[in-house]
Amino acid sequence: MGVPAAGGSRRGVLATTAAAVFLLLVLCGCGAPAAMAAAAGGGGGEQYLYKDPRQPLNRRIDDLLRRMTLAEKIGQMSQIERENATADVVRDYFVGSVLSGGGSVPAPQAPPEAWVKMVNEMQRAAMSTRLGIPMLYGIDAVHGHGNVYKATVFPHNVGLGCTRDPELVKKIGAATALEVRATGIPYVFAPCVAVCRDPRWGRCYESFSEDPKVVQQMTSVISGLQGEIPASGRRGAPFFAGQRNVAACSKHYVGDGGTASGINENDTVATFHELLGTHMPPYYSAVIRGVSTVMVSFSSWNGVKMHANHFLVTDFLKTRLRFRGFVISDWRGLDKMTSPEHADYITSVKLGILAGIDMVMIPYTYTEFIDDLTTLVRNGTIPMSRIDDAVRRILRVKFTMGLFENPYGDPSLSGELGKPEHRELAREAVRRSLVLLKNGKDGEQPLLPLPKKAGSILVAGSHADNLGYQCGGWTITWQGQGGNNLTAGITILDGIRRAVDRGTEVVYSENPDAGFVRRNAGRFDYAVVVVGEPPYAESFGDNLNLTVPAPGPSVIRNVCGGGIRCAVVLVSGRPLAVEPFVGAVDALVAAWLPGTEGQGVSDVLFGDYEFTGKLARTWFRSVEQLPMNVGDAHYDPLFPFGFGLETQPSTA
């Protein structure tokens, strides 16, 4: 080889060197993108600024965005279901995100290692694409990592709101983040910051309160999930503390808790002023806390589907509130814009993307979405500027999360799942969430706290020994399920048995008849009756009568009317119609949906800890009063907002 001449021949030598490096890397088995990056300076050179973590965030985004084809951009806007996310699909369609729907798991009772392996395999496919843009895996974790076997299941938000303790909720967010990270997942569809104004709504238990101020306080869970944004943090910009945190998602924007008659996905009829005053405040707090993503609601506002509402999504959330993260649709949210569903899909895609949705949850019909959106861009219906805005927001979150530097799950975190410290935190949350509604009949001594030392006690009811009923929906499966075999935990009956004196006999009868109670009335010192709702989620939980499900009322009548002093523990996702029997019981406890740590209930029943919970929602007398919320002119509750009797710890 001769000595190069002066001038332009130097570029020829560099080009020859780069080509040689590229060829060598290809021959040794390195992928073409990696080879190109290495030839251009190891990813840190001027050619590939987006690969260099030392570069400013916006410079990295700009550099990557200008390199992307339309297909790669639309791929980033697509979120598909785990079942469909084979390596080929992720690679060929440049899929930007994958999710697990409720109950979608790699295998029944899969350990953390199986989750990490699954997520990492998908990630390897994403990283092998031309530009190596990491995939973002998301999952519902609305009360702990509920999809996963042996995870800690915390009380649902309806109970956490009764604690009035933002710091406790922040700790729960941090614990949840660790358990989610234990399975290799960096993104959760939580928290729900709905302001539930009607308990007939099947998602009311996902709401912290009917009061927007309480919900705002509880957005502290975002700081637990993502990490605490510093005082110098930029308002509206997504924040992420590190690899032990997860990206959060405030949902469902906006007004999902205000639909007519509490019907899920229905219309919220309200003036803009009313919307701002009641349903929007939690989003102010979420944006200030640096929430990474916002999910759009299935519901409508004054007849306009939220998934098509440009004013609220783009003009208000993105422009007025200066939210810089990305907006994601709900599950098949574009399909549900028409009735019947999917009737005019290409129009739904057009309206949704133009409204400002950045990432679309298309679990199954992703090829149709990709084809339709490509057509809409190529024919000029959707401008490239809108696509670039969406992708810029998605990339901003991914860069902020450090996904480009740390794309893979960490198997060493597997011990975080269900660890004792998290279960103890959940047990504390149960104690703090319980609301004591009644304690003693008129003229009689309070029943609670119960004495641990007794001859014999009766425990009855369908929910006393049923872990699945305690946990409610969004636990292992989407709708939840009954039984004690679905995951690890302690039932309320187990907690009672652990709490009482060793010499106290505990007799459990799920559904005792009146004859049994009458014959044994003198035998039992007292009874604990645990009844409530079966698990449900979303529309399956819509309920226009809100009565205590059978056989709950008959168990209460048989036990509490049979001459035994009784405490009734109600396990439910919302207030239920209890006025018909509240006079017959000695004590009434709202336990909400406490999760896996049933011992938190017995902790308070037996006086190891005091009752402190306060109602975060109004307890109605009859459903005919609904909707009824604190501050209404016709306010006449059975138990008002903020009510909750207190006890002192037992000294016995």
Same domain, 344 and 468: no
pLDDT (tens digit per residue) in 138-171:
999 999 999 999 999 999 999 999 999 999 999 9
- At residue 145, the pLDDT reads 98
Tell me the residue ranges of DSSP E strands in 510-590.
526-532, 566-571, 587-590
User: Are 404 and 441 part of one and the same domain?
Assistant: no
Is 42 inside any structural domain? Answer: no
Give the HSE-up count for residue 449: Cα atoms under 13 Å, Cβ half-sphere: 25
Instruction: Give SS3 for 569.
Output: strand
| Average pLDDT of span 624-628 | 98
Q: Check whether residue 577 and residue 633 sit in a common domain.
A: yes
Residue 401 lies in a domain: yes
- List active site positions: 330, 538
Residues 101 and 127 in one domain: yes
Mean pLDDT, residues 230-251: 94
Comparing 230 with 506, which gets the higher pLDDT? 506
Domain end call among 416, 448, 482: 416
The answer on 497 and 381 residing in a single domain is no
Q: How far apart are CA 537 and CA 19, in angstroms?
A: 57
Q: How many domains does the chain fold into?
A: 2
DSSP output for 580-620: HHHTT-SEEEE-----SBTHHHHHHHTTSS------SS-B-
Same domain for 401 and 518?
Answer: no
Domain assignment of residue 624, yes or no: yes
- Is 90 exceeded by the pLDDT of residue 235? no
**Tens digit of pLDDT for each residue in 310-348?**
999 999 999 999 999 999 999 999 999 999 999 999 999
Q: How confident is the model at residue 47 (pLDDT cuts 50, 70, 90)?
A: confident
Question: Domain for residue 646, yes or no?
Answer: no
More confident site: 558 or 47 = 558
Same domain, 134 and 273: yes
Question: Do residues 379 and 489 share a domain?
Answer: no
The crossing angle, in degrees rounded to 10, of helices 32-39 and 9-27 is 150
Percent of the chain with pLDDT over 90: 91
Would the pLDDT of 6 be above 50? no
Nearest CA among 160, 221, 161 for reference residue 188: 221
Q: For residue range 384-437, what is the model confidence (pLDDT) as tens digits?
A: 999 999 999 999 999 999 999 999 999 999 999 999 999 999 999 999 999 999
For residue 542, pLDDT beyond 50? yes
556-601 pLDDT tens trace: 999 999 999 999 999 999 999 999 999 999 999 999 999 999 999 9
Region 367-382: what's the mean pLDDT? 98
**Would residue 148 be called left, alpha or beta, if left means φ above 0 and alpha means ψ between -120 and 50 degrees?**
beta
pLDDT at 652: 56
CB 193 within 8 A of CB 215: yes
Mean pLDDT, residues 354-381 taken together: 98
Average pLDDT over all residues of the chain: 93
- Pairwise CA distance, residues 488 & 480, whole Å: 14
Domain of 168, in residue numbers? 52-416
Is 309 found in the same domain as 245?
yes
* Residue 103 maps to a domain: yes
Helix (H) or strand (E) holding 249: strand 249-253
pLDDT band at 12 (very low <50, low <70, confident <90, very high): very low
Would you say residue 475 lies in a domain? yes
CATH of the domain at 200: 3.20.20.300
438 and 307, same domain (yes or no) = no
**Do 181 and 330 lie in a common domain?**
yes
